[in-house]
Chain A
């Protein structure tokens, strides 16, 4: 009853109720609501972009603030007398005998030379003992000296000017990381040593300049952060990228061409397709476990070698390249294929003479983005022994692929776990280097796409 009586009234109100006249110029409540909701959405969008940019700027600022100083390094210039009484006791000049003197034997030479240099320039030694004065120089210095003497045995008995690394704390002082206040508490450096360093800086014995060694030198142990460089890591990463490029690009492109142009659509190809998409989403650490099991334990490849890293990263990059290549092939319009087939080209001629060249920019872009991804990947490398302390440069390829090496991302990880605070700066510096590489690769990819990609 009630239902019957109500529903006609409500419907009659809706249909026949007095309709307000609306002006297009006067904004009514509903439109206001709609506009407000759009404004809200736009605001949220801007907020999201803003937060993203802020996060990026914050991250970059902290990395740059921490890391830019690693591109400069403090050096001490000192004249060192290569004492034959220490280095070549019997005066025979026999290289084998000179090589018997270990780096420990070179320390006294540096100690003496530092004391002499301070006396010569008339600097106040701040009441420091010779050992504390020599501590201004990096523990890397004896090795520098020994290498020089072994390369130039005829210089024994002469005084040679050396450019030696200053110790990590002194270097930190000139970069603002170490202060007089922190030195008071620090057992590795004293304010007197810092004042002496100031004096030496004043007379020009000590200066800070661009740090090429950061890009070329190998890693160094915890006692000499000032000597640590990225040489082995850059080389290792480059080797891995070569392996990835040589394996993933041909394999990926061949697989895509077959799947896209030749294979019949059946259950098997569907399965493969699903698997490729799945593989692209597999966490990279899984590839590391696979690499350890298959390449190292089963195939017997060496640990810490770029070849294994390259193979693991190849597996990781393949799906990316296959997906990108297939998209690029799909983007080539069928009319091109039909035209080629129409004038009598074989299927293979069609693909290689017409379709592939047109798809090439897309394929290369995909490959470069895949490579950039692989370059920044660290998780799988942890499992195959790449996060090791490696000081020997790998040999030239192909033998070098089997030599132990580090890689950029794991070198960063490695440095962040070190005890000496100077490694924080090194790690941030390494991040900057890695970011520069990634940025370059992505820019190349964008340029390739912009300049060569054809749109139909």
Chain B
């Protein structure tokens, strides 16, 4: 068998050497949240330019950035989609592999919404409700106690008497990071549990946040590691549950889902753009500048991505659920100048 492997490798190497040709299509990988937007742009790009349609892969933000930082050359990807900002560890990894100039392009914002079965109860949440419902420990009379709430009504008397069951994104999702930060930690602070945690850990705010993010493990909060389609399927099976979705996914399924307000604000492209709706995050892609003049169409693609036609308020991306970036003009200029990103602040 090892003989066979070696033989095939040799045969393949010979074949590859025989037909070694420059890669002529852009390769993109990364966040599955950015994926639909990237495919919409790739499709329109292929239609309107004389370049082949870029190949877009999912795989997750972290995996995309890792692939981007593998090095410079045809066998590495050109663009990494990311639903969270690049980390210093990624930049260091890039630098050690010779990828020095990276462009950071913010394409817009994405809202995270809380939705339940269309025929079920209506919900108006605050981050505090979510914290009190699914955190492992909650504050009660100035003390931290194990969470025993079973119904949303226990958590907040204004909420309907419905069993607590939440399908939240698994830890590998970029969405979870935002959920932890903007809902759980915010709720942790609002209920006073944060201060108690901080006291307990001797004033260490990082440790306190970590403790805030410990969720209950008795089945009231379920991590979904798959895509939003899986969360939707689980909601269909259990109409008492509440799921966490991206705004665009919800907008494509408004006939099955009803959305809950957060802090009294209904999530929509407008309320997220204005900053009223609290649970949102910027979406990015990262471009390897060393590939700009090597891979045909790369510069055109990124300029097309952030053009008003695509990423503007009336473009197809906004129609699909992307919240347009009010500072798009600035991004367009940076992209035209190929401005590499500076150090993270």
Interface residues of A, Cβ cutoff 8 Å to B: 99, 102-104, 139, 143, 146, 178, 182-183, 185-188, 220-224, 247, 251, 255, 272, 275-276, 279, 294-297, 299-304, 307, 311, 314-315, 318-319, 385, 387-392, 398-399, 401-402, 404, 416-421
Instruction: Please determine whether A302 and B15 come into contact, CB atoms closer than 8 angstroms.
Output: no
Q: A185-B255, A300-B16, A392-B52 known; A418 and B229 CB under 8 Å?
A: yes
Instruction: Please determine whether B228 and A419 come into contact, CB atoms closer than 8 angstroms.
Output: yes
Instruction: Please determine whether A139 and B316 come into contact, CB atoms closer than 8 angstroms.
Output: yes
**A185: which B residues are within 8 A, CB to CB?**
118, 254-255
Instruction: Please determine whether A391 and B42 come into contact, CB atoms closer than 8 angstroms.
Output: yes
- Report the bound CA distance from A295 to B10 in whole Å: 10
Instruction: Please determine whether B57 and A385 come into contact, CB atoms closer than 8 angstroms.
Output: yes
A-B contact pairs, 12 of them (CB 8 A): A102-B47, A146-B48, A311-B8, A389-B55, A389-B56, A391-B46, A392-B53, A416-B229, A417-B226, A418-B36, A419-B36, A419-B228
CB of B43 within 8 A of chain A?
Answer: yes
Q: A188-B252, A304-B55 known; A315 and B227 CB under 8 Å?
A: no
Instruction: Please determine whether B254 and A391 come into contact, CB atoms closer than 8 angstroms.
Output: no
Q: A185-B255, A251-B7, A419-B249 known; A387 and B57 CB under 8 Å?
A: yes
- Report the bound CA distance from A34 to B319 in whole Å: 72
Instruction: Please determine whether B53 and A304 come into contact, CB atoms closer than 8 angstroms.
Output: no
**A420: which B residues are within 8 A, CB to CB?**
252
Q: A296-B75, A387-B57, A389-B56 known; A315 and B40 CB under 8 Å?
A: no
**B27: which A residues are within 8 A, CB to CB?**
303-304, 404
Interface residues of B, Cβ cutoff 8 Å to A: 1, 4-5, 7-9, 11-13, 15-16, 19, 21, 23, 25, 27, 29, 32, 35-36, 38-40, 42-44, 46-48, 50, 52-53, 55-58, 74-75, 77, 118, 226-229, 248-249, 251-256, 309, 316, 319-320
Instruction: Please determine whether A417 and B53 come into contact, CB atoms closer than 8 angstroms.
Output: no
- Report the bound CA distance from A304 to B56 in whole Å: 10
**A302: which B residues are within 8 A, CB to CB?**
23, 74-75
**B52: which A residues are within 8 A, CB to CB?**
392
**B47: which A residues are within 8 A, CB to CB?**
102-103, 143, 146
**A275: which B residues are within 8 A, CB to CB?**
1
How many Å from the CB of A141 to the closest CB on chain B?
Answer: 11
**A391: which B residues are within 8 A, CB to CB?**
42-43, 46, 53
- Report the bound CA distance from A300 to B43 in whole Å: 27
Instruction: Please determine whether B1 and A188 come into contact, CB atoms closer than 8 angstroms.
Output: no
Interface of B is mostly: helix
**A143: which B residues are within 8 A, CB to CB?**
47
How many Å from the CB of B235 to the closest CB on chain A?
Answer: 13
Instruction: Please determine whether B75 and A222 come into contact, CB atoms closer than 8 angstroms.
Output: no
- Report the bound CA distance from A294 to B12 in whole Å: 11
- Report the bound CA distance from A341 to B228 in whole Å: 67
How many Å from the CB of B168 to the closest CB on chain A?
Answer: 18
**A279: which B residues are within 8 A, CB to CB?**
1
Instruction: Please determine whether B320 and A222 come into contact, CB atoms closer than 8 angstroms.
Output: yes
With A294-B9, A307-B12, A404-B27 given, name 17 new contacts (CB 8 A).
Answer: A178-B255, A183-B255, A185-B255, A188-B251, A221-B36, A221-B43, A223-B319, A223-B320, A272-B1, A302-B74, A304-B27, A318-B1, A388-B56, A399-B21, A401-B15, A418-B229, A419-B252
**B252: which A residues are within 8 A, CB to CB?**
188, 222, 419-421
Q: A311-B12, A391-B53 known; A222 and B25 CB under 8 Å?
A: no
Residue of B nearest to A298 (CB): B9
How many Å from the CB of B104 to the closest CB on chain A?
Answer: 23
- Report the bound CA distance from A418 to B57 in whole Å: 13
How many Å from the CB of A200 to the closest CB on chain B?
Answer: 22
**B309: which A residues are within 8 A, CB to CB?**
102, 104
* In the complex, the 9 A-B pairs of residues with the closest C-beta atoms, listed nearest first: A391-B53, A182-B255, A389-B56, A221-B39, A388-B57, A222-B36, A186-B255, A417-B227, A102-B48
Instruction: Please determine whether A398 and B19 come into contact, CB atoms closer than 8 angstroms.
Output: yes
**A299: which B residues are within 8 A, CB to CB?**
9, 12-13, 16
- Report the bound CA distance from A385 to B29 in whole Å: 9
**B42: which A residues are within 8 A, CB to CB?**
221, 389, 391
How many Å from the CB of B308 to the closest CB on chain A?
Answer: 10
Residue of B nearest to A421 (CB): B253
Residue from B40, B48, B248, B254 having most chain A Cβ neighbours under 10 A:
B48
- Report the bound CA distance from A104 to B48 in whole Å: 9
Residue of B nearest to A143 (CB): B47
**A314: which B residues are within 8 A, CB to CB?**
8
**B15: which A residues are within 8 A, CB to CB?**
307, 398, 401
**B1: which A residues are within 8 A, CB to CB?**
272, 275-276, 279, 318-319
Q: A186-B254, A255-B4, A272-B1 known; A402 and B19 CB under 8 Å?
A: yes
Residue of A nearest to B44 (CB): A103
Residue of B nearest to A296 (CB): B75
How many Å from the CB of A409 to the closest CB on chain B?
Answer: 16
Instruction: Please determine whether A419 and B16 come into contact, CB atoms closer than 8 angstroms.
Output: no
Instruction: Please determine whether A417 and B32 come into contact, CB atoms closer than 8 angstroms.
Output: yes
How many Å from the CB of B160 to the closest CB on chain A?
Answer: 20
Q: A185-B118, A185-B254, A404-B25 known; A103 and B5 CB under 8 Å?
A: no
How many Å from the CB of A390 to the closest CB on chain B?
Answer: 5
**B36: which A residues are within 8 A, CB to CB?**
221-222, 418-419
- Report the bound CA distance from A188 to B254 in whole Å: 8
- Report the bound CA distance from A421 to B1 in whole Å: 45
- Report the bound CA distance from A387 to B39 in whole Å: 13
Residue in B46, B249, B316 whose CB lies within 8 Å of A223: B316
**A390: which B residues are within 8 A, CB to CB?**
53, 55
Residue of B nearest to A99 (CB): B50
- Report the bound CA distance from A15 to B226 in whole Å: 71
